[in-house]
Amino acid sequence: MADWQEWPQRLWGDDWIAPMSEVLNINRRTIERWRAGEGEPNIGLQTELRRLALRYGARAIGNVLRRMARGETLKEIKADIREHQIATTRIEVELGKYGSIPILASRNTDALLDD
């Protein structure tokens, strides 16, 4: 893997071509060619990917960027994140009382209370 490919992988995981294409509005085939070693992004783009990928929460940054590329505003994304925080807190509190649905959903009961 070329050095620059580490950065989108940190932002979007192993299947980073589609998210990178969406966020940067670059044809997916171009990015596939870059991944295969046929050229590469310009140094400015590589630098920006690196800067974002080295931040704490790089995967979350990648997710937010992808949602923005799909038309969501930061305000909408923040509201959604707050709702998810409330929902996870409620599930934590109710675990043990009515915990069968979260247990079924998790498929991994050991992971239910992991922070």
End-to-end CA distance of the chain: 32
Structure tokens at 80: 């959604």
Question: What does the block give as tokens for 97?
Answer: 């009382």
pLDDT value of position 89? 86
Residue 52 burial (10 A CB sphere; 0-12, 13-18, 19+): middle
In the prediction, which pLDDT does 91 show? 79
* Token pair for 47: 């630098």
pLDDT tens per residue across span 39-79: 999 999 999 999 999 999 999 999 999 999 999 999 999 99
Residue 67, Cβ density class (10 Å: 0-12 exposed, 13-18 middle, ≥19 buried): middle
Q: What is the mean pLDDT of residues 91-98?
A: 72
